[in-house]
Structures are given as structure tokens and as C-alpha cells.
Amino acid sequence: MLVRIACLLIGLSGPGCLRADDPPPALGIGVVPLQPEERCRKGLALVEPSADPRAVAEGLQLLGEAAATGYLPAYAHLGQIHAEGRGVPRDAEQALGAWARGGTLGDPTCQAWLGWAYNGGLPGRTNLPEAREWFRRSADHGNAYARTELGKMLEYGLGGERDLPAAAKLYGMAASQGNPDAQCRLGWMFLTGTGVKLDPEVAYGLFQTSAEQGWARGQGNLGFMFRQGIHVPRDPGKAVEWFRRSAEQGDVSSQMALGCMLLRGEAGSVSGVEGRRWIEAAGAQGNDEARFLLGTSLVFGPLPREEPQGRAILLELGEKGHFGAWLVLAHLAWKQGRREEAKQFLEKANGLDSSRAEVFRFQPGILESLRFDLPGPVPFHAVLAEEARRHPAYAQALKLILKDDAKAAKEVVGLLEKAWADGIAAAALQLGIAYDLGRGVRRDGPRARSYIQASAEKGWPEAMFYLAELHTQGRLVPRDPSKAELWMKRAADAGLPEALRRLRRPSTP
């Protein structure tokens, strides 16, 4: 009966709710009515800790009375109780009904909850345009959470048009209210020059403010700046410190970065045990790139070699569609003399018929360099036999590359330069990689960038992908998400499997 009374008071209906013709509840003669805010507080106190149905019912009655007398925050609490199933069965309809009543009456918290519900918070109720509208209403009332969430929807174009300047403005308002998520997101926009003028100093200040509030992503971004030496002197020790704080809160990117730094000994001594623990922690959260890193590290080092386990991890990833896993397995099989198996792995990676997959390019040196980078698939692609047939020097370079002979690296560069002089775009990418990694030549970043850019502009899909990754990481070229997206789309349009797979991933705030 008491649950039905609460339902009537907040204008809901459903099983167990009071009928319209039921008599109103008696409050009792001589009882001094509680103020609405006090009713709400007392009702929450009864519901929160209690598994006693009578106490829960009494708490719901008090919350319903508070809502009915004009205390709008009570609607937000009632909706949350039904959404989370606190003392009552989960009931999305009751939750939405409570929030809708409060939101329609102008309560910004209810409006924010409705935005959350329609933004995927309640299973089966996703409606992004509706979410965007409720977040807008709440943001207009000054709700910092709603401003942040609406900023995300504008930044990623969810539920409507993308509007980066408007997103930055909303993040700025929420950041000034102390919202650490908004501070972190606005900081990243300043760090990358997305929607605002590039300003690493402002970015650092926002990350620091966010991190000091305990926000994991803000702590991880500080770690990133100290690791890369952006705006601050490069300091691997401080990077590890900030990454560890973030990783301990479960941030996957920080777990990956911390694991990589410990395995490489970037802050001093190598720590394989702790490094592996953090990489496995990221993998346990479903991060395939962490499992890829673990698999390659078990096969090639620096972790103690456990090739069977590493191969098993890579095979599992390959079956799930991980492009780089098939290529690592192909490389391993090739080095161990299992040529047919290597070709089969490469065919799986590229979807090629065996008749076309006669000559393959695989750069073990790139794998060695990328194995400890931040998460990201290895940008490899099989080279068609027809490309090698076009130029004898390029065909000879491929044969030497497949032998994985460091002594031949200088000869490979010479052959590639001849091929590029005759317009072989794939050779330009290989030259760029050689200058990037210092294979056969002295490392030369500007020259590496020039070759990779030229290869991409000449239409070579792998170069487009590689250039997209460089713009994402801010390595060799300025960090530029817009250019990264452009080159990734061009690689996908050219049919590169990994680019197609990358673009199929939904954007997540």
C-alpha cells in the first residue's frame, strides 16, 4: 500500500501503485508535517541501508510526498532508486517516469539523469538525439555534469552535428565549476589543438588540476606529458609516478604505458614482473592491444620467452580479427622456416588468394620498435607480387628484407632509393621507415617524414595508415587528429584491412 501511495504522489502508474479512486493516506491527528527537504532526507535514510521491505516502502512514501509538495530533487532520487534497484526491483519505466516528471518541471538533476538514461545508461533505452536534448536543458541550468556530457556529444558528433568550438566552450564552463572530467577533456583539446588554439601550457594546467582531484585520465595525461617532454622537461620518473596513480584506478591506457615503461626500463632498471602485471591488467579489461603486446613480448622478449603461450595469445587475437597478430605469427613462422604456414597467416591478414601472395614484405625492425609503444596495431600490409615485378631493385630489396639480415640493411636502402627514383611508392614508405628507425642509415626524422608523406600522397595505402598513426601520436609530425582521421579514411578507401577495421570501431567519449 505504501509503495502505491508513493507512486500516486509522483504521478506514476504500474503494478502495486495507488488507484486514482483510493482514499488519500491519513497522516494522523496532531502530527506536525515534515518539511519537503526533511521528508526527502528521511526517506533516503530509510531506503539506502535497508533490506526491510517496510522500511523501504516508508522511505519511498516520504520521497513521494516530498516530490508531490514541490521538492523536485526527490524525483531524481526516486528515479535513481528504481534504476539501480535499491530495495526494489529494477524498473526502467518507473525511473524514467520519475525523472521525466522532475525534468519537465525544470529540475536540472532529473534532466541530467534523463540524458544519462538515453545516452546508453539504461539498457534498451538509447536515444542519442533525446539524450542530447535533455543534457542541453540541464546544461542551460548550469549542471556541470550535463555540460560535460553534452560537450562529449558535440565533440564526437553523437545525436547530431559535430561542433568542436561549442564542445570546448561547454568543457570550459564545467571545468570552471571544478568538474575533473571536463578539465581533462578540455586539456586534451588544448594539447592537440582540436577546436581551440594549440596551447600545451594550458593543457598541462588543466591536467594538473584534474589529476589533483584524483581523476585517473588527468593523471595519465600528465604521465604522457612527462614521458614525451611536452611543455615540461622529459622526466621518466614523474611519468611512471603519474601513470601508476592512474593505473591503480583502472585506467587502461595508463596500465599499458606503465607496463611498457617498466619493461623498457625507461625510468631506470627494467621491471619485467611489474611490467607484465600491468599489461595483463589492461588485457583483463578486454584491451586487445595489451594482449597483443603480451603475446609479442612472450615470443620475442624482453619477458622470459614463453613462445607457446605467446603464440596461443596471438592466434586467439588473429581469430578475433587482429591484423597485427597474424603478421607477427607469419614473421615467426618465416624465421623458423615454415614458409607455407607464414604465407597462410599473411593471407588471413590480407584476405589475399595464394596465387597473388607470392612476395611479402615484413619489417621485423618495425615490430621491435613498436612492441613497446602505446597501444596501436602494427601497420603492416602484404605487398603484391605484381609490385615487385614492376622493378628488379625493389624485388631484390624485398628478398633481403625477408632474410632479416642486419648486415644487408645498407644495401636495402640503396635498392629502395633506386626503386623510388622510378616511382615505386611502396619503396618510399620503406625508406621512410629506414630513416625513422636508423636501419642501414643514420636516423633522420625530417627525411623519414618526407619519404612517408611522399609515399602516402602517391597513393600507397600502408603509407597513408602509417601517416595517420604518426599524426595520432604526434611523432615525426605535429599531433593532428583531423589529419589522422583524413589519412585513415584514405587508407580505408584504398582497401587496407586494418584501416577498415579501425574505422568500424565506434567512437567512445
Question: Helix 288-300 to helix 307-319 angle, to the nearest 10 degrees?
Answer: 150
Q: CA–CA separation, 467 vs 487, rounded Å?
A: 7
Task: Report yes or no on 310 lying in a domain.
Answer: no
Same domain membership, residue 479 and residue 490: yes
CA 89 from chain centre, in angstroms, equals: 33
Asked if 14 and 137 sit in the same domain, the reply is no
Looking at the structure, do residues 377 and 493 belong to the same domain, yes or no? yes
In a domain, 457, yes or no: yes
Domain assignment of residue 274, yes or no: no
Same domain, 370 and 387: yes
**If you search the block for the grid coordinates 587482429, which residue do you land on?**
322
pLDDT above 90 coverage of the chain, percent: 29
Contacts of 471 (CB under 8 A, 6+ apart): 477, 478, 479, 480, 481, 483, 484, 487
Q: Residue 480's domain is classified under what CATH number?
A: 1.25.40.10
Any long-range contacts for 293-302 (C-beta under 8 Å, 24+ apart)? 293/256, 293/259, 293/260, 293/371, 293/372, 293/375, 295/325, 295/328, 296/328, 296/367, 296/371, 297/263, 297/371, 299/328, 299/332, 300/367, 300/368, 300/371, 302/263, 302/264, 302/270, 302/272
Q: What is the structure's pLDDT at 326? A: 81
pLDDT of residue 43: 85
Same domain, 443 and 418: yes
81 and 114 together in one domain? no
Choosing from 39, 73, 105, the residue where a domain stops is 105
CA dist 155 and 93 (Å) reads 30
Residue matched to cell numbers 525534468: 103
Q: How many structural domains compose the chain?
A: 3
Q: What is the pLDDT of residue 8?
A: 32
Q: Is residue 325 part of a domain?
A: no
pLDDT at residue 497, rounded to an integer: 58
**Are residue 497 and residue 363 in the same domain, yes or no?**
yes
**Cβ-count burial of 174 within 10 angstroms (0-12 exposed, 13-18 middle, 19+ buried)?**
buried
pLDDT at 12: 43
DSSP secondary structure, 347-401, as one string = HHHHT--TTT-SS----HHHHHHHTTSSS------PPPHHHHHT-HHHHHHHHHH
- My answer on whether omega of the bond before 302 falls inside 30° of 0, hence cis, is yes
Cα-based distances in Å from 86 to 47, 99, 124, 359, 446? 7, 16, 20, 63, 60
Q: Is the pTM here over 0.75, yes or no?
A: no
Which domain range does residue 18 map to? 1-105
d(CA 31, CA 117): 39
Same domain, 495 and 374: yes
Which residues of the chain register pLDDT less than 70? Answer: 1-34, 49-51, 270, 350-391, 398-406, 493-509
Do 38 and 164 share a domain, yes or no? no
182: in domain: yes
Q: Are residues 69 and 150 in the same domain?
A: no
pLDDT of residue 305: 84
Task: Record the cell numbers describing residue 11, joined without a space.
Answer: 504521478
Residue 56 identity = V
Considering the domain architecture, whether residues 41 and 136 belong to the same structural domain is answered as no
Last residue of a domain, one of 193, 213, 233: 213
Q: Which of 213, 240, 269 is the last residue of a domain?
A: 213
Q: Measured between alpha carbons, how far is residue 208 from residues 161, 215, 218 in Å?
A: 31, 10, 7
Residue 230 has what DSSP assignment?
S
Q: Indicate whether 75 and 187 sit together in one domain.
A: no
